[in-house]
């Protein structure tokens, strides 16, 4: 009995810290509609700052501890405010993808800043004075600090409730959460409202992190490790609902506290499974409202145009040049180019569902990873050779996309994005935990190509054929009725239904199609590296693909090809440097803020500009308006 | 000639609002029927029940003898019912021509084709439809650039693409200039006159209604309060009362609402 109570109390203490992070995220999303990955960074900064402050103020005892915690939270709030004013304010009207990637860029920058300031080693914070012992309840030792957290969570919920219901500002925040246009119409100073909400949300994240120091060592992985769970809580609760976040935090943490008793491996995937189930039953979360999932309305895309002769010639030339590369270059160039080819196919498959289909996927790495793992598994356990493995892999990833896609296409907007993320996290968690089959963290090695393809040159040609073939297939599909109708559904579901289209089924098939081709990229990558590790499935890989699409430009079919190539080249160069995350973050922010139509957009503007210079009188603006080259 | 559509005791409530109550009517082949009524009378709700966007609480809708209730809109469309929307719904990232082509592609059941070039399919048929509604010159313009009135017209071309038996037009002329209205309704009347397709349309502009419709149904607060020819409706005391809030039935101004 006492044991179960102890388990319950641990669960509730975890719920409190989870709630603190998640409620800030939910407030920020509710008001600004930004899916803020940097929230994880604010949490981490809260922990680092309070580590420093509390250690320095330790002479003051309890006052030093709690004072340090509060000051850290406020400092994080100020940092959040700076981020909002300097960066996010400029992208409130941008599509979700931009916001997500931008906040991920901020996350990278903050991570390297923390590395520079606090170093790479784990930092063990001091315990809270007066709360450093355990009390015995029904014979079980319960940390006093856990009991304090159990009280703090509901107290914070109560305070926020008071602010939201008893102050004019709170009422405005709630109104903005429900209906953004209305607040604009009321003549409220929106910028101020957004900034203050962002400040409050960041303070909460900082507080969550600061309060965590007696419980876990402060480290540089705190940002990404917490953000997944925080999103889950926000989504389950209903985006924008603080009370919902509290219920969800308790639900997840308590379930988890007991589930690990039965099945210890489940903790990594449990939150995501709960989220998937909740979203299937309640597409807007427990307390969320319909409409809360929509981001800013997007401008309509220009019609698709077939590649003009010059463009087709250029594409052909690229393929021919690639085919000639082995004649003149060294092995390492070919290895790099194989990486580029894989990335291009991966990004193009993501673009098919995101750009053409308008369905946000924050978890596309799942299908890439399933392809890679399927190949590795059949090689390891069934002893299959490369060619059969290359057939099995896309089929496996297609099946995975078929299963997850069935759930995903029922949702839209941010909820869809979160469900795709959940799917990827579930696959990652299973792979990571299922040591006996997947090798867990150690991955699977010895996934070598067949003899005939084992030289760098031969494998390069194989990769070229498969990846270029995959990209060709995707482009073909985008120009075919299948892809056109997919775009139609993106533009107007009502119209598509009114001309006889089963919109969900169509989107489902598109999701599966793209997943299959991502799996093809995955298997090419597995044999190129000779091994597979769980990190092909993690959030960062999914975000890499998003960055490639964004970098290239979401509105053209050419975008992902350009974006992926440039991404891999930059990555291979930058990651050699010590603070590569910082540089990468800056590049991402640069693209988002300066060239939101990506490289393809910049390129076409450049071409139009040159054309106008060479042939004065051509109307460049009209050219730009008149359709995307694809 | 037999009835294309038979509607019996159709009702729908939203929470406490009884948006449509016990509506019954028939529609003959080749008939041009107007469904009128003040804002909020339940016209759009009625349409949404006729072609499957809403499931009625009670009642039945039979198209050429086949029950439509419970069938989703996409299937109702395949059974021969076209629809235009009060608030236009088009594919804004495509050209005018492509919008019509998509309807044709779907009609020919080729939407899962992965290899053909979509823009090359059914081009001539699509162009013919655009010529019919007088938009051939705009065929290659992106839909997003069109004026609202043009979008309304385009919706008609899309709705005609699968050669429907029944066409439901929800305020086809709202947001159009007066001369455009007359042209569009004249065109619709011409299409009806060929005798194959029947049309039900809702409209706030009474001149349009009286000029073209064969028969008029008047809906008020969800109930059918009158039915008859233009003259009968004009003479109907109950209709006068409903519409007489601000002047004569003949000068009823269209309340702009899109
Ligand atoms: N989805 C809905 N939920 C709740 N109420 C609705 C819904 N759709 C319509 N209504 C209500 O039903 C009634 C009928 O609306 P409907 O749109 O059918 O009217 P209408 O005759 O088309 O009006 P208008 O001329 O303004 O287009 C109105 O009171 C409206 O507010
Ligand atoms: Mg209406």
pLDDT at residue A5 is higher than 60: yes
State the average pLDDT over residues A330-341: 86
Residue A155 pLDDT class (50, 70, 90 cuts)? very high
Closest to A499 (Cβ–Cβ): which among B106, B110, B143?
A: B106
Q: Above 70 in pLDDT, residue A594?
A: yes
In this structure, the dihedral spanned by the alpha carbons of residues A114, A118, A122 and A128, taken in order and rounded to 10 degrees, is: -100
pLDDT at A386 over 80: yes
The string of pLDDT tens digits covering residues A359-371 is: 989 899 999 999 9
Lowest mean pLDDT, pick from A70-84, A111-125, A404-418: A404-418
Contact A46, A115 (CB under 8 A): no
Instruction: Return mean pLDDT, chain B.
Output: 88
pLDDT of residue A334: 84
Predicted confidence band of residue A62 (pLDDT cuts 50, 70, 90):
confident
Give me the pLDDT at residue A627, please. Answer: 44
- What pLDDT is stored for residue A297 in this prediction? 55
Cα–Cα distance between A162 and A178 in angstroms, integer? 18
Mention every residue, 6+ apart, whose C-beta is less than 8 A from residue B21: B11, B221, B222, B223
Residues 6 or more apart in contact with residue A518 via CB below 8 angstroms = A345, A346, A349, A350, A364, A367, A368, A371, A397, A401
* Predicted local confidence at residue A626, as pLDDT: 43
> Strand A134-137 vs strand A140-143: parallel, antiparallel, or unpaired?
antiparallel
Give the residue extent of every domain in chain A: 2-222, 338-574
* Residues A488, B116: C-beta atoms closer than 8 Å: no
Take atom 25 of ligand 1 and give the residue whose Cα is closest: B39
Q: What share of chain A has pLDDT > 90, as a percent?
A: 39
- Tell me how far the alpha carbon of residue B55 lies from the centroid of ligand 1, in angstroms: 14
Which of the residues B85, B111, B129, B143 would you substitute to probe the A interface, choosing the one with the greatest number of A C-beta atoms within 10 Å?
Answer: B111
Residues in B 152-191 with any Cβ partner in A closer than 8 A: 158, 161-162
Could you tell me the pLDDT band of residue B255, with boundaries at 50, 70 and 90? very low
Neighbours of B179 (CB within 10 A): 8
- pLDDT at res. A619: 46
B97's tokens: 């021509």
Q: What is the pLDDT of residues A171-207, one digit of tens each?
A: 888 887 777 666 666 667 778 888 999 999 999 999 9
Token pair of A40, please? 């994880």
pLDDT, residue A615, reads: 67
Does residue A590 have a pLDDT over 60? yes
- Residue A317 has what pLDDT? 86
d(CA B77, CA B80): 5
Looking at the predicted structure, is the pLDDT value of residue B250 above 60?
A: no
As a whole number of angstroms, the distance between CA A87 and CA A101 comes to 12
Q: Which of A317-326, A493-502, B228-237, B249-258 has the highest mean pLDDT?
A: A493-502
Q: What pLDDT score does A625 carry?
A: 42
Residue A555: closest C-alpha in chain B: B93
Contacts with A494 from chain B: Cβ below 8 Å: 85, 89
Distances (CA, A) of A603 to A558, A610, A626: 11, 10, 15
* B89/A282 Cα distance (integer angstroms): 27
Would you state the pLDDT for residue A184? Answer: 66
Beta bridge mates, A141: A136
Return the ligand 1 atom nearest residue B257 CA.
26
Q: From B17, B223, B252, give the residue whose CB has the most ligand 1 atoms within 8 Å, as the site to mutate.
A: B17
Q: What is the pLDDT of residue A294?
A: 59
Contact at CB, B118 and A303, closer than 8 angstroms: no
* pLDDT confidence tier of residue B252, bands split at 50, 70 and 90: very low
The Cα–Cα gap between A132 and A630 comes to 63
Q: What is the pLDDT of residue A187?
A: 67
Atom 11 of ligand 1, residue of closest alpha carbon: B19
Size of chain A in residues: 630
- Residue A141 pLDDT: 79
For position A82, what pLDDT does the model report? 95
pLDDT at A554: 79
Of A12-16, A59-63, A525-529, B111-115, give the lowest mean pLDDT range. A59-63
Q: Is the pLDDT of residue A16 over 70?
A: yes
Which of the two residues, A527 and B238, has the higher pLDDT score?
A527
- Using a 6 Å cutoff on CB, does residue B43 contact ligand 1? yes
Question: Is residue B44 within 6 Å of ligand 1 at its C-beta?
Answer: yes
| A124 — pLDDT class (breaks 50, 70, 90) | confident
State how many domains chain B has.
1
Contact across the interface for B77 and A492, Cβ inside 8 Å: no
- Comparing A68-82, A349-363, B233-247, which segment has the lowest mean pLDDT? B233-247
Q: Which two tokens stand for residue A563?
A: 């974006």
- Structural domain boundaries, residue B199: 3-255
* Interchain CB distance below 8 Å, A303 and B112: no
Could you read off the pLDDT of A203-250 as tens digits, one per residue?
A: 999 999 999 988 888 899 888 888 888 988 998 998 888 899 999 999
What's the CA gap between B224 and B239, in Å, rounded? 11
Task: Tell me the per-residue pLDDT of B109-143, one tens digit each, with 9 for 90 and over.
Answer: 999 999 999 999 999 999 999 999 889 999 999 99
Judged by CB atoms closer than 8 Å, whether chains meet at B144 and A300 is answered as yes
Task: Compute the distance from residue B21 Cα to the ligand 1 centre, in Å.
Answer: 13
Say what the pLDDT of residue A400 is: 96
Residue B56 near ligand 1, beta carbon < 6 Å: no
Q: How far apart are CA B53 and CA A338, in angstroms?
A: 50
User: Which element (helix H / strand E) includes B202?
Assistant: strand B198-202
Check residue A299 and give its pLDDT. Answer: 67
Q: Residue A622: what pLDDT?
A: 43
pLDDT at A292 over 80: no
Q: Tell if the CB–CB gap between B113 and A480 is shorter than 8 Å.
A: yes
Q: Residues B97-124, buried b or exposed e (16+ Cβ, 10 A)? A: bbbbbbbbbbbeebbebeeeebbebbee
CA–CA distance from B207 to each of A311, A420, B170, B182, B204 (Å)? 54, 53, 16, 9, 9
CA distance linking residue B123 with residue B183, whole number of Å: 25
Torsion on CA atoms B207, B212, B217, B221, rounded to nearest 10: -30
Interchain proximity A477–B106, CB inside 8 Å:
no
Tell me: pLDDT of A440 over 70.
Answer: yes
- Position A182 scores a pLDDT of 67
Confidence of residue A620 (pLDDT cuts 50, 70, 90): very low
Residue A293 pLDDT class (50, 70, 90 cuts): low
Average pLDDT on A467-479 reads 94
The reported pLDDT for the residue numbered B197 is 92
- Looking at the complex, report in whole angstroms how far the Cα of residue B142 sits from the nearest Cα belonging to chain A: 6
**Matching residue, tokens 């799996």:** A519
**CB pair distance less than 8 Å for B111 and A497:** no
Residues of A in contact with B85 (CB under 8 A): 494-495, 498
Q: Tell how far the Cα of B45 is from the centroid of ligand 1, in angstroms.
A: 6
CATH of the domain at B55: 3.40.50.300
The alpha carbon of B14 and the centre of ligand 2 are apart by a number of angstroms equal to 15
Does any CB of chain A come closer than 8 Å to the CB of residue B110?
A: yes
The answer to whether B78 contacts chain A (CB < 8 Å) is: yes
Highest mean pLDDT among A134-148, A177-191, A284-298, B51-65: B51-65
- Which atom from ligand 1 is nearest to the alpha carbon of B38? 25
**Beta carbons of B93 and A498 less than 8 Å apart:** no
Contact A395, A370 (CB under 8 A): no
Range from A315-329, A421-435, B192-206 carrying the lowest mean pLDDT: A315-329
Burial class, A206, CB count within 10 angstroms (exposed 0-12 / middle 13-18 / buried 19+): buried
Q: Tens digits of per-residue pLDDT, B26-51? A: 999 999 999 999 888 999 999 999 99
Q: Closest residue (by CA) to atom 12 of ligand 1?
A: B19
Residue B166 CA to ligand 1 center (angstroms) comes to 23
Does B19 sit in the ligand 1 pocket, CB within 6 Å?
yes
Q: Which tokens is A263 given?
A: 């099945």
Q: Is A129 within 8 Å of A63 (Cβ atoms)?
A: no
**DSSP secondary structure string for all residues of A500-566:** T--HHHHHHHHHHHHHHHHHHHHHHHHHHHTEE-GGGGSHHHHHHHHHHHHHH-TTSSSHHHHHHHH
Task: Specify the 3-state DSSP secondary structure of A257.
Answer: helix
Contact (CB<8Å) A501/B106: yes
Cβ B37 under 6 angstroms from ligand 1: yes
Give dist(CA A519, CA A367) in Å, integer: 5
Chain B residues with CB under 8 Å of A473 CB are 114
Give A477→chain B minimum CA distance, Å. 5
Residue B58 dihedral angles phi and psi, to the nearest 5°: -140, 170
What pLDDT is stored for residue A516 in this prediction? 97
Statement: residue A506 has pLDDT above 90: yes
pLDDT of residue B254: 43
Confidence grade of residue A333 (pLDDT, cut at 50, 70, 90) = confident
Which residue in the block uniquely carries the two structure tokens 């399927």?
A374
Percentage of chain A exceeding pLDDT 70: 94
B35 alpha carbon to ligand 2 midpoint, in Å?
11
> What pLDDT is stored for residue A272 in this prediction?
84
Q: Is 60 exceeded by the pLDDT of residue A618?
A: no
- Shortest CA distance to B154 belongs to which of A554, B141, A277? B141
Nearest CA to ligand 1 atom 30: B40
pLDDT above 60 for A469: yes
**CB contact, 8 Å: B96 with chain A?**
no
CA–CA dist A125, A48 (Å, integer)? 9
Is A300 a residue whose pLDDT tops 80? no
Q: Is B45 in the pocket of ligand 1 (CB under 6 A)?
A: yes
Distance CA A189, CA A466 (A): 54
- The atom of ligand 1 lying closest to the CA of B171 is 27
């Amino acid at each position: 009995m006492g044991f179960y109570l102890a388990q319950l109390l641990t669960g509730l203490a975890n719920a409190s810290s989870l709630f603190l992070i998640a409620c800030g995220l939910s407030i920020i999303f509710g008001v600004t509609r930004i899916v803020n990955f940097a929230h994880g960074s604010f949490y981490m900064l809260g922990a680092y700052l309070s580590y420093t402050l509390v250690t320095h103020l330790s002479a003051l005892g309890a006052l030093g501890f709690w004072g340090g915690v509060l000051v850290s939270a406020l400092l994080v709030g100020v940092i959040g405010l700076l981020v909002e004013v300097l960066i996010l304010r400029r992208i409130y009207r941008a599509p979700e993808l931009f916001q997500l990637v931008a906040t991920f860029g901020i996350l990278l920058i903050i991570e390297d800043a923390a590395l520079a300031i606090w170093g790479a080693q784990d930092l063990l914070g001091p315990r809270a004075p007066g709360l450093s012992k355990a009390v015995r309840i029904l014979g079980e030792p319960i940390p006093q600090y856990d009991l304090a957290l159990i009280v703090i969570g509901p107290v914070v919920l109560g305070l926020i409730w008071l602010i939201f219901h008893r102050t004019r500002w709170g009422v405005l925040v709630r109104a903005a959460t429900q209906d953004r246009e209305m607040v604009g119409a009321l003549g409220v100073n929106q910028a101020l409202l957004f900034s203050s909400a962002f400040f409050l949300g960041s303070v909460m994240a900082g507080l969550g992190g600061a309060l965590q120091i007696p419980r876990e060592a402060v480290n540089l992985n705190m940002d990404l490790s917490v953000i997944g769970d925080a999103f889950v809580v926000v989504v389950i609760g209903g985006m924008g609902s603080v009370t919902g976040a509290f219920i969800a935090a308790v639900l997840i943490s308590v379930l988890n506290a007991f589930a690990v008793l039965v099945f210890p491996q489940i903790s990594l995937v449990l939150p995501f499974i709960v989220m998937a189930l909740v979203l299937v039953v309640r597409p807007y979360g427990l307390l969320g409202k319909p409409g809360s999932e929509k981001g800013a309305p997007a401008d309509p895309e220009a019609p698709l145009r077939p590649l003009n002769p010059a463009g087709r010639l250029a594409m052909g030339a690229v393929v021919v040049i690639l085919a000639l590369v082995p004649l003149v270059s060294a092995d390492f160039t070919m290895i790099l180019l194989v990486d580029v080819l894989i990335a291009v196919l991966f990004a193009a498959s993501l673009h098919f569902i995101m750009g053409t289909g308008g369905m946000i996927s924050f978890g596309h790495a799942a299908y890439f990873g399933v392809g890679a793992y399927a190949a590795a598994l059949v090689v390891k356990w069934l002893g299959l050779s490369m060619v059969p493995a290359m057939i099995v892999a896309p089929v496996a990833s297609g099946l995975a996309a078929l299963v997850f896609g069935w759930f995903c296409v029922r949702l839209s907007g941010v909820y869809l994005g979160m469900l795709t993320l959940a799917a990827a996290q579930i696959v990652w968690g299973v792979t990571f935990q299922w040591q006996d089959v997947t090798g867990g963290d150690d991955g699977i090695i010895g996934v070598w190509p067949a003899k005939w393809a084992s030289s760098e040159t031969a494998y390069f040609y194989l990769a070229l054929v498969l990846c270029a073939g995959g990209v060709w297939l995707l482009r073909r599909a985008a120009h075919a009725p299948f892809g056109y109708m997919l775009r139609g559904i993106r533009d107007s579901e009502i119209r598509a239904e009114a001309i006889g289209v089963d919109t969900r089924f169509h989107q489902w098939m598109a999701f599966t199609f793209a997943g299959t081709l991502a799996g093809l990229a995955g298997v090419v990558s597995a044999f190129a590296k000779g091994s597979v590790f769980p990190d092909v499935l993690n959030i960062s890989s999914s975000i890499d693909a998003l960055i490639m699409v964004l970098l290239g430009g979401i509105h053209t079919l050419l975008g992902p090809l350009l974006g992926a190539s440039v991404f891999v080249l930059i990555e291979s160069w930058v990651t050699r440097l010590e603070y590569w995350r910082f540089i990468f973050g800056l590049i991402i922010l640069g693209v988002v803020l300066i060239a939101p139509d990506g490289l393809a957009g910049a390129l076409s503007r450049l071409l139009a500009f040159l054309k106008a210079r060479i042939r004065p009188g051509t109307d460049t603006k009209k050219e730009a308006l008149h359709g995307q080259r694809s | 000639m037999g009835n294309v559509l038979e509607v019996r005791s159709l009702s729908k409530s939203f929470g406490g609002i009884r948006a449509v109550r016990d509506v019954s009517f028939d529609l003959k082949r080749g008939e041009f029927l107007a469904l009128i009524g003040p804002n909020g009378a339940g016209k759009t709700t009625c349409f949404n029940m006729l072609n499957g966007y809403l499931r009625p609480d009670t009642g039945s809708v039979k198209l050429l003898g086949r029950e439509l209730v419970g069938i989703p809109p996409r299937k109702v469309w395949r059974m021969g019912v076209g629809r235009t929307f009060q608030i236009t719904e088009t594919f804004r990232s495509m050209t005018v021509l492509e919008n019509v082509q998509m309807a044709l592609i779907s009609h020919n059941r080729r939407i899962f084709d992965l290899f053909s070039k979509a823009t090359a399919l059914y081009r001539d048929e699509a162009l013919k439809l655009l010529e019919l509604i007088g938009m051939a010159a705009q065929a290659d313009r992106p839909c997003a650039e069109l004026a609202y009135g043009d979008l309304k017209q385009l919706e008609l071309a899309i709705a005609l693409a699968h050669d429907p038996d029944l066409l439901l037009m929800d305020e086809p002329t709202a947001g159009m200039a007066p001369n455009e209205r007359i042209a569009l309704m004249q065109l619709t009347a011409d299409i009806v006159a060929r005798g194959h397709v029947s049309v039900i349309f809702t409209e706030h502009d009474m001149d349009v209604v009286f000029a073209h419709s064969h028969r008029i149904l008047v809906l008020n607060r969800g109930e059918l309060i009158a039915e008859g020819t233009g003259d009968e409706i004009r003479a109907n005391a109950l209709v006068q009362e409903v519409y007489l809030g601000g002047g004569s039935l003949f000068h009823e101004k269209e309340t702009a609402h899109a």
